[in-house]
């Protein structure tokens, strides 16, 4: 470093992005003070890995990068520097082996998040450089940030024992989005950065469920809320932008729908509701059968059998799939063979609003990339860098979220090193 003393950097946020920034900095011999409002770091990371930690995805990098939609151009350089292959190598260096699942998703061999986090924290506390990261838990940034040519950058924190002020030569903010606030991501930083003149896009739910227009009937709620629509497909055709169609499964909730297929289309559904007050997707209950085959089976003479028995016998439709037809179609439509066959292949499901952002897996919006330089430094706050989910990007589940959080944390850490080596402070 360009100074006789070790430079000190304040990292605010103990999620993957903040921890990665701290790793880059401490490995370079920088003194790092890391702050988090929660009693321990990585809480959302641990909960996300509860059912099996999805680290990244093994698909070709060009396809991987396409998952980031409108912010693809801003993230491509970061993902080239630290993408799926680099992430797996990084995990391996921590002693965590990985494997590719049948879906192409990448998991630790033991499927757990805790061993990786423990190994990572051990490395951070005792890096090869000798400058370990110091962790300050239950320190919530109050939004106060002051800059001085003499003292550097000062942040104020609320702690169980009162207000404290800490100063550093640079700051990395990795404060998360606004989903799962109980784990620390509450979006409370937005008005503070707006007050500093930072351009911030409104935080919105992403990878979220939706409420169906008019809800479900009491009968459907009682019998089928929590059950999955399996081996189905959904199609979304927005008025502008590409259409979405994918096969998979999702879940009926008490008020609407959620689950992997819905999450994958959530950005289009959410934006459609924002623009038009409603959104619709078409549900294909039998995606492996052609429209002609379904029409032929529906019109096959059924004799004395009930409609439900007929459709179960000819098409295997029963349970929640049969129930949603009764839920969405009139008696006349159910008896109209052409209308019924069409509905089986393209049943309209209208949605009125996304579920609250705090229920979402992730959030969209945040600090706009236009407010940052290529090193993720805030233009109006020299020496202050941003990383992770607090940036204005979104991606589907499947390892994309975690990979991008780590990639932005790495870039922010490297950006700080470049900044410090310029001797700006």
DSSP string of 199-228, one letter each residue: -EEEEEEES--EEETT---HHHHHHHTT-E
**Strand-by-strand arrangement of the 170-173 sheet:** 134-137, 31-36, 8-12, 170-173, 384-386
CATH architecture of residue range(s) 8-204+363-421: 3-Layer(bba) Sandwich (3.50)
- What integer pLDDT is reported at residue 5 of this predicted model? 64
Name 158's Cβ contacts closer than 8 Å, sequence gap at least 6. 139, 140, 142
Name 262's Cβ contacts closer than 8 Å, sequence gap at least 6. 208, 209, 210, 234, 250, 269
Four-point Cα dihedral 140, 165, 28, 425, nearest 10: 130
* Cα separation, 111 vs 396, whole angstroms: 20
* Cα separation, 172 vs 155, whole angstroms: 11
- Tokens 């005792």 sit on residue: 126
- What integer pLDDT is reported at residue 420 of this predicted model? 94
Domain residue extents for the chain? 8-204+363-421, 210-354
What is the residue-wise DSSP string for 371-390? GB-TT-BBTTSTTEEE-GGG
* Cα separation, 87 vs 120, whole angstroms: 13
DSSP state of 334: H
Bridge pairing between strands 279-284 and 228-236: antiparallel
242-250 long-range contacts, Cβ below 8 Å, gap at least 24? 244/268, 247/287
pLDDT digits (tens, 9 = 90+) for 181-230: 888 889 999 999 999 999 999 999 999 999 999 999 999 999 999 999 99
Per the prediction, the chain carries an average pLDDT of 94
* Cα separation, 77 vs 411, whole angstroms: 10
- What integer pLDDT is reported at residue 243 of this predicted model? 87
* Cα separation, 348 vs 328, whole angstroms: 8
Instruction: Report pTM.
Output: 0.92
**410, β-bridge pairs:** none
- What integer pLDDT is reported at residue 239 of this predicted model? 79
Reduce the DSSP state of residue 347 to 3 states and report it: strand
Closest CA to 362 of 127, 169, 187: 187
Tokens describing residue 142: 């109050």
Quick one: CA dihedral 161, 163, 168, 171, positive or negative?
positive
Q: Which residues of the chain have pLDDT under 50?
A: 1-3, 424-425
Is the distance from CB of 397 to CB of 206 less than 8 angstroms? no
- What integer pLDDT is reported at residue 83 of this predicted model? 96
């Amino acid at each position: 470093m360009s100074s006789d003393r070790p430079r000190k950097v304040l990292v605010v946020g103990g999620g993957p992005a903040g921890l990665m920034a701290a790793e880059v900095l401490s490995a370079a011999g920088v003194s790092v003070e890391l702050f988090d409002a929660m009693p321990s770091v990585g809480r959302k990371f641990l909960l996300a890995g509860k059912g099996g930690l999805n680290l990244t995805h093994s698909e070709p990098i060009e396809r991987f990068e396409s998952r980031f939609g409108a912010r693809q151009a801003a993230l491509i350089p970061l993902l080239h520097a630290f993408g799926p292959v680099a992430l797996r190598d990084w995990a391996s260096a921590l002693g965590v082996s990985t494997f590719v699942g049948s879906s192409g998703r990448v998991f630790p061999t033991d499927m757990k998040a805790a061993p990786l986090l423990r190994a990572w924290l051990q490395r951070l506390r005792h890096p090869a450089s000798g400058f370990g990261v110091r962790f300050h838990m239950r320190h919530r940034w109050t939004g106060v940030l002051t800059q001085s040519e003499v003292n550097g950058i000062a942040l104020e924190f609320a702690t169980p024992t009162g207000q404290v002020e800490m100063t550093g030569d640079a700051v990395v903010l990795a404060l998360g989005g606004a989903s799962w606030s109980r784990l620390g991501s509450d979006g409370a930083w937005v008005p503070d950065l707006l007050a500093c003149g930072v351009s911030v896009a409104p935080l919105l739910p992403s990878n979220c469920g939706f409420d169906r227009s008019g809800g479900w009937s009491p009968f459907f709620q009682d019998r089928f809320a929590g059950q999955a629509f399996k081996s189905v497909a959904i199609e979304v055709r927005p008025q502008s932008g590409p259409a979405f169609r994918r096969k998979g499964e999702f879940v009926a909730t008490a008020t609407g729908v959620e689950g992997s297929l819905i999450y994958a289309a959530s950005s289009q559904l959410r934006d459609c509701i924002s623009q038009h007050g409603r959104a619709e997707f078409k549900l294909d209950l039998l995606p492996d059968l052609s429209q002609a085959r379904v029409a032929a089976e529906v019109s096959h003479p059924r004799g004395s059998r009930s409609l439900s028995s007929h459709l179960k016998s000819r098409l295997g439709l029963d349970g929640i799939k049969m129930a949603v037809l009764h839920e969405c179609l009139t008696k006349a439509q159910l008896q109209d063979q052409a209308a019924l066959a069409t509905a089986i292949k393209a049943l309209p499901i209208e949605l009125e609003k996304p579920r609250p952002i705090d229920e979402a897996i992730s959030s969209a919006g945040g600090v706009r990339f236009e407010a940052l330089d290529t090193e993720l430094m805030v233009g109006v706050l020299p020496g202050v860098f941003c990383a992770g989910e607090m940036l204005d990007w979104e991606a589907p589940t499947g390892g994309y979220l975690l990979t991008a959080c780590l990639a932005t944390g790495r870039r922010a850490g490297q950006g700080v090193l470049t900044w410090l080596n310029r001797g700006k402070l």
